[in-house]
A = this chain, B = another copy of it.
């Protein structure tokens, strides 16, 4: 491969402040003792650190974020949501979920500037891909984006990076069809709703069934109006390993992508389907993420000259997450770092990695749904 893989990274994004959380819950009121937030800088910083130590960073092309402008954010998000965020950020920070405790998304003073910088990093990555400066790109950023909806943040997400990237590719670079594949273990509710009636953006989410948000990501949510058939949910039962994920890729997701023939593919790349993630019950290791990455790269190579952008989303087990990220970026770039993943052989040995009959049945239900459309 002659073109490098791009890496979006900016130190200021690591200063996004989520400390009002203990795990994923707001602490306080004599119920939850304060503790560390699950969505923290450390989880992302450790990925970057491992890329550095493994010798990969210096072989990637660093894409430097710039702040997304309000009108760029306004392509996806409501003006009054943006204004409320700015007001909170100019004061002492606040909650981008606007008080919904299920989606609590705290940020600190100056948090708007950080969130806008993350969003701008994604836009820069789209530019770098479209202009051919990089073969593909991984945007290693926070806050995450895939739960954010048009008029509110949710689930640690403030702006919807996948949606903003898709609109940027369409509006600035003139693309017609963009596909968003969300392999974060939680449902990609944001893109589903934002593009519900829009057939120009295919949205696919593979996730643990009814894990988060509650009652979201069901199989029969296929989009509406002209967008009907352009939203695909692949809910899997808890406990799936690489067998189930790769079967779902091969039987459902890749065919859907090919049928749509996107001009760019965007992946909401949560790593929380990893085998040690506290916030879901799946069992993937680095090799599974690498295999999924390569499969999508193949589609991208066939459909759209390899144009592929991965936006980092969830992933909460600090010791192992860096190796999942490393595996993906090695696959994307064709490079091989100097560090071996010590978790991979343990995860590979876990009972349940192969496709199980009840997992096969879950995938068959999606296949049936799709053949109806």
* B12→A17 contact, CB < 8 A: no
User: Is A340 close to B, CB under 8 A?
Assistant: yes
Please tell me if A19 contacts chain B, counting CB pairs below 8 Å. Answer: yes
Q: How many copies does the complex hold?
A: 4
A223 within 8 A of B: no
* Minimum CB distance partner of A238 in chain B: B239
Q: Which residue of B lies closest to A113 (CB)?
A: B30
Leading 6 A-B pairs by shortest Cβ distance: A239-B239, A23-B319, A238-B239, A29-B110, A11-B52, A28-B109
Interface residue A246 (Cβ < 8 Å from any Cβ of B): no
Stretch at the interface among A123-131, A271-279, A304-312: A271-279
* Segment 24-68 of A: residues with Cβ below 8 Å from B: 24-36, 41-42, 46, 49-50, 52-53
Cβ–Cβ < 8 Å partners of A342 in chain B: 25, 31-32
- Find out whether the CB atom of A53 lies under 8 angstroms from the CB atom of B23: no
Instruction: Name which of A32, A41, A111, A342 has the most chain B CB atoms within 10 A of its CB.
Output: A32
* Bound complex: CA A277 to CA B281 (Å): 9
A137 in the interface (beta carbon within 8 A): no
Asked if A35 meets B351 with Cβ closer than 8 Å, knowing A12-B53, A30-B53, the reply is no
CA distance A356 to B240 in the complex (A): 14
Interface pair A210/B351, CB less than 8 Å apart: yes
Neighbouring B residues of A262 by C-beta, 8 Å: none
Minimum CB–CB distance from A236 to chain B (whole Å) comes to: 10
- Of the candidates B27, B277, B322, the one whose C-beta lies within 8 Å of that of A33 is B322
* Chain A interface residue count, Cβ-Cβ cutoff 8 angstroms: 77
Residue of B nearest to A341 (CB): B31
Task: Tell me, yes or no, whether A296 is within 8 Å of chain B by CB.
Answer: no
A318 contacts B by Cβ under 8 Å: yes
Q: For chain A residues 77-93, which have a beta carbon within 8 Å of chain B? A: 92-93
Across the interface, name the chain B residue whose C-beta is closest to A241.
B238
Minimal beta-carbon separation of A81 from chain B (angstroms): 18
Which chain B residues border A11 with CB–CB below 8 Å? 49, 52-53
A108-B276 in contact (CB<8A)? no
Tell whether, in the assembled complex, residue A349 and residue B210 are in contact, meaning their CB atoms are under 8 Å apart: yes
| Contact digits for A83-119, partner B, Cβ 8 Å, 1 yes 0 no | 0000000001111000000000000111101100000
In the bound complex, residues from chain B placing their C-beta under 8 Å from that of A277 are 278
* Residue contact B279 to A281, C-beta cutoff 8 Å: no
What residues of chain B lie closer than 8 Å to A241, measured between beta carbons? Answer: 238
Per-residue interface assignment for chain A, residues 262 to 299, with 1 indicating a CB less than 8 Å from any chain B CB and 0 otherwise: 00000000000001111101110000000000000000
Query: A349–B238 Cα gap in the complex (Å)?
Result: 13
Across the interface, do A31 and B339 meet the contact criterion of CB distance under 8 Å? yes
**Residue A209 interfacial (CB < 8 Å):** yes
Give bound CA distance, A276 to B278, whole Å. 5
Q: Is the CB of B238 within 8 A of A352?
A: yes
